[in-house]
């Protein structure tokens, strides 16, 4: 996964005076991705107990970054995927208040894009639409041609709802890691509760025979 970093991100990491890295109850996933590219001594871990409501923690984090960064210095705050998509990074920046610190965001590859690319399938063909969610709206119909549901902690409920709406769902877990697995069989993902998971569902059915040919040693089929 570390080679999905952009040249722009690499340049900033190497120029940085300080690198802020999230620590979620001992998990330091974003740091693990970049650790071979950077000077260890620049890293400052910031604690995020993932999943909790934490406006005060976001505020405090921005404040620490702001105070640590002296005039003329460059600080980098790292995140997995893209910082504008369900990310702690943008939550922290939203609490910047009246700070006069100059900001720039570097776009990254989100998990749903890494996932669909590995399948050698289309996310959207011309005229189609794509919907991104971090939970299903169970109460209503979905109309998009392709749907991605992130953090798919109850795959069996999601599979059931998506199939009822006319979709063919696929479960993917730990994308771009050496524990990357997937399945189109709800029985094989029913009891999995992995945070780093998503469901890709498309109206045009997946061709599993073709997909299996291309995922090779990268993705294990459950």
Q: Where do contacts with a second copy occur on this chain (CB under 8 A)?
A: 2-8, 10-11, 82-86, 90-91, 93-94, 102-110, 113-114, 116-118, 120-135, 137, 140, 143-144, 214, 216
Q: Are 78 and 53 in contact (CB under 8 A)?
A: no
DSSP per-residue letters across 29-47? HHHHHHGGGS-GGGEEEEE
Of residues 44, 25, 30, 22, the one with CA closest to residue 1: 30
Shortest distance in whole angstroms from residue 161 CB to a second copy? 15
Least Cα distance to 47 among 67, 20, 69 occurs for 20
Q: Given the complex with a second copy, which of 26 and 217 has the nearer CB atom?
A: 217
Residue 183, classed as helix, strand or coil, is strand
Give me the least distance between CB of 93 and a second copy, in Å please: 6
* Residue among 64 and 105 whose Cβ is closer to a second copy: 105
In the complex, the smallest distance separating the C-beta of residue 107 from a second copy, rounded to whole angstroms, is 4
Give the nearer residue to a second copy in terms of CB position, either 94 or 164: 94
Three-state DSSP at 170 gives strand
Question: Residue 1 CB, nearest distance to a second copy (Å)?
Answer: 9
Is 179 or 214 the residue whose CB approaches a second copy more closely?
214
User: What minimum distance in Å lies between the beta carbon of 112 and a second copy?
Assistant: 10
Q: Given the complex with a second copy, which of 81 and 155 has the nearer CB atom?
A: 81
Output the CA–CA distances (angstroms, integers) from residue 195 to 156, 169, 170, 175, 222, in the order listed. 15, 18, 16, 11, 17
For the chain, give the number of residues.
222
Longest CA–CA span in the chain (Å) reads 57
Instruction: Give the nearer residue to a second copy in terms of CB position, either 126 or 191.
Output: 126
**Adjacency order of strands within the sheet including 18-23:** 43-47, 18-23, 75-77
CB of 68 to a second copy, least distance (A): 19
- The three-state secondary structure class of 18 is strand
């Amino acid at each position: 996964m570390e080679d999905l970093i952009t040249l722009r991100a690499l340049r900033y990491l190497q120029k940085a005076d300080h690198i802020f890295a999230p620590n979620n109850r001992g998990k330091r996933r974003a740091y693990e991705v970049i650790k071979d590219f950077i000077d260890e001594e620049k890293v400052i871990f910031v604690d995020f107990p993932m999943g909790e409501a934490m406006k005060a923690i976001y505020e405090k984090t921005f404040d620490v970054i702001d105070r640590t960064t002296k005039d003329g210095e460059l600080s980098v705050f790292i995140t997995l995927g893209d910082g504008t998509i369900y990310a702690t990074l943008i939550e922290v920046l939203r609490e910047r208040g009246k700070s006069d610190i100059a900001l720039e965001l570097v776009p990254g590859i989100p998990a749903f894009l890494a996932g669909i690319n590995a399948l050698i399938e289309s996310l959207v063909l011309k005229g189609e639409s794509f919907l991104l969610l971090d939970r299903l709206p169970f109460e209503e119909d979905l109309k998009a041609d392709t749907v991605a549901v992130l953090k798919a902690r109850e795959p069996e409920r999601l599979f059931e709802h998506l199939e009822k709406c006319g979709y063919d769902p696929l479960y993917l877990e730990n994308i771009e890691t050496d524990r990357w697995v997937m399945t189109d069989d709800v029985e094989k993902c029913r009891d999995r509760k992995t945070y780093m998971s998503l469901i890709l569902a498309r109206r045009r059915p997946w061709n599993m025979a073709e997909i299996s040919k291309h995922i090779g040693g990268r993705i294990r089929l459950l």
